[in-house]
Amino acid sequence: MKKYDFSGWATKNDLRCSDGRVIRRDAFKENDGQTVPLVWNHRYNSPENVLGHALLQNREEGVYTYCKFNDSESGKNAKLLVDHGDVSALSIYANKLQHQGPNVIHGDIKEVSLVLAGANPGASIQSVIRHGEESNEEAMIYTGEELFLFHSDELEEEEAELKSKKDNKETKSEDEETVADVFNTLSEKQKNVVYAMIGMALENGNEEESNGSKDTKDSKGGNKEMKHNVFDKEDISDMEVLSHSDMEAIIADAKRYGSLKDSVLAHGIEQIDYLFPDAKNVTDTPQFIQRDMGWVQKVMGAVHHTPFSRIKSIFADITEEDARAKGYIKGKQKKDEVFSLLKRTTTPTTIYKKQKLDRDDVIDITDFDVVAWLKSEMRMMLDEEIARALLVSDGRSSSSDDKINEQNIRPIWTDADLYTIKALVAADKSASADVKAKAFIRAAIKARKDYKGSGEPTLYTTEDVLTDCLLIEDTTGRVIYDSAAKLATTLRVKEIVTVPVMENLNRTDEQNGKVGLMGIIVNLADYNIGADKGGAVNMFDDFDIDYNAQKYLIETRCSGALTKPYSAIALEVKLGE
């Protein structure tokens, strides 16, 4: 009789592994009674690493194994290590693993290994990606169970028990009914259900073959096995996965193997890229690097809109002395008054933005809807351009082809003096920021005397000007305006809005001197944006066959102008000649 040197659990059932998977009962039942090689630490690079063989026995608790060392030097050395308790753990290598959710329900054990220590008590799976196994996942499964050494009488009892079980199994198989016998006991209705199940299984097999699987057919073209229960609600997956526990084992073994590369190769990972998964975006779409856009919506939401684009405003000037009512002296002639009528007309212009994408990029970018993302950027930039143009102009040279005509969208800052009051901040260009801030506040308050606009206006200024005003201190060093709201109350404005595009703007005044813009006080309800068809913003797209490019255009046609005299105040500071 063959004598075995030791025995132990190759794997245990129903124990949760460190990566969350669970080996279920009978996952390796097809290996019952099979003999597989006994090797050292799953190494196959030398015949010396083959230590003997192992007999597998499928039990209710898991797979038990009886191991026998060979007479090679490595086998004898391994036997001494086991006898002395220096090595006390087993591991198996299995492939063709199938999962049902987190459960391992099927696999094929190829070898049993002696290892220095199990990865964790019970059983744990470390997935190893190997090519050439027809995309079935493989694993090394460790146990933390102790090995059992055989003494002579114990060995005889164990072998007798094994032989008895094997004989009972063979006797039972002789008395068992055939598949045909069992099938014929079914009713016609039950047989129809079986036919349907077999049909579904065959269809599954055909699909797998068409996807590159070749081991699901036998020599006669039939399926060798049913892949899963057709009534099972959970999907069975055969995925190649490198789990967190794999990484831990590879790094832990790196010192023993001498390098991380050797440890990776020893664990069967042929492509090191699996250790470094692709980076993931923290956002669904690319984020724009842009100026602060909060002011744009405040501007566009505050202006007055009309459903017609040609705007005419007519005013009668009654501020002259002749317009006053007069006292009458008997016998004297009563004097007539002649109205001075002021009028102007503003016509529309087209404002547009174009964008282009290569057709290949549109197709290749699958992480997000690149067209929708592009259109949102175009609309955002169109709104900013209109808001900029009506406050301070678009800043382009008058000779530029892209210039927004200032006779169609009239900038508040440079509008005629009848509509925008030009208030000069009394501060020298070399003055400190503190002096300029105090002069700015003083000029803004004094200019309100001439303001004729509607209601309570808003101050549009730069972040620098606002910061300098908030840092003003009194003689004791205490900050005078500890919030923007308090400063707004002092300036007699509704709120203060900072506009990034107003930074470092200047112009040449009537005396040919340079003046810099510090702020604009206006109630935008007095500024009219006129557009036909309700101010429609139109989006167009076209395909350029010659350049394989998808082109997009967004445009609107509108006019814009202040409609009340003295309805805005531009606060400027002299910069020199």
Q: Does 489 have pLDDT greater than 90?
A: yes
Are 481 and 432 within one domain?
yes
- Rounded Cα distance, 4 and 90, in Å: 15
Beta strand 89-100 with 137-143 is antiparallel
Q: Is 105 part of any domain?
A: yes
The residue assigned the tokens 């059983």 is 123
153: part of which helix (H) or strand (E)? helix 152-175
| Weakest-pLDDT range from 155-159, 231-235, 419-423, 465-469 | 231-235
Please, which pLDDT band fits residue 205 given cuts at 50, 70 and 90? low
Are 468 and 437 within one domain?
yes
Q: Which pLDDT value is given to residue 211?
A: 54
| Weakest-pLDDT range from 230-239, 298-307, 326-335, 519-528 | 230-239
Are 89 and 203 within one domain?
no
Q: Is 12 part of any domain?
A: yes
- Rounded Cα distance, 564 and 525, in Å: 10
pLDDT, tens digit, 9 for 90 and up, residues 282-311: 777 787 777 888 899 999 999 998 888 888
Q: Is 333 part of any domain?
A: no
- Rounded Cα distance, 185 and 191, in Å: 9
Q: Which pLDDT value is given to residue 421?
A: 95
Are 128 and 201 within one domain?
no
Are 210 and 171 within one domain?
no
Residues in the chain: 577
Cβ neighbours, 10 Å, residue 417: 11
Q: Which pLDDT value is given to residue 449?
A: 92
Please, which pLDDT band fits residue 141 given cuts at 50, 70 and 90? low
Full residue range of the structural domain in which residue 208 is found:
181-217
- Rounded Cα distance, 208 and 150, in Å: 46
Which two three-digit tokens encode residue 573? Answer: 């500071």
Q: Is 524 part of any domain?
A: yes
DSSP 442-471: HHHHHHGGG---SSS-EEEE-HHHHHHHHT
SS3 487: helix
Are 108 and 166 within one domain?
yes
Which two three-digit tokens encode residue 95? Answer: 């492939």
C-alpha torsion 321→325→327→332, nearest 10: 80
User: 250 near 267, Cβ under 8 Å?
Assistant: yes
Are 483 and 551 within one domain?
yes
Q: Is 118 part of any domain?
A: yes
Closest CA to 146 of 281, 33, 339, 12: 12
pTM here is 0.52
Q: Is 35 part of any domain?
A: yes
Q: Is 226 part of any domain?
A: no
| Euclidean distance between the first and the last CA atom of the chain, given in angstroms as a whole number | 115
pLDDT, tens digit, 9 for 90 and up, residues 62-103: 888 888 999 999 889 988 888 888 887 888 888 887 877 778
Are 203 and 255 within one domain?
no
Q: How many domains does the chain have?
A: 3
Closest CA to 313 of 416, 405, 389, 398: 416
DSSP code, position 358: E
SS3 130: coil
Are 80 and 204 within one domain?
no
Nearest 5°: the CA angle 34, 232, 107 is 20
Please, which pLDDT band fits residue 209 given cuts at 50, 70 and 90? low
User: 43 near 4, Cβ under 8 Å?
Assistant: no
Cβ neighbours, 10 Å, residue 306: 16
Which one is predicted more confidently, 403 or 133? 403
| Weakest-pLDDT range from 190-194, 479-483, 511-515 | 190-194
Q: Which pLDDT value is given to residue 423?
A: 94
Are 415 and 554 within one domain?
yes
User: 126 near 92, Cβ under 8 Å?
Assistant: no
Q: Is 231 part of any domain?
A: no
Are 97 and 134 within one domain?
yes
Q: Which pLDDT value is given to residue 120?
A: 38
- Rounded Cα distance, 351 and 309, in Å: 13
Q: What is the CA radius of gyration of the chain?
A: 44
**C-alpha distances in Å from residue 504, one per residue of 239, 301, 352, 384:** 60, 25, 26, 18
Beta strand 458-461 with 496-498 is parallel
Beta strand 50-58 with 349-358 is unpaired
Q: What is the CATH number of the domain that holds 314?
A: 3.90.1690
Q: How much is the average pLDDT of 511-522?
A: 90
Are 200 and 249 within one domain?
no
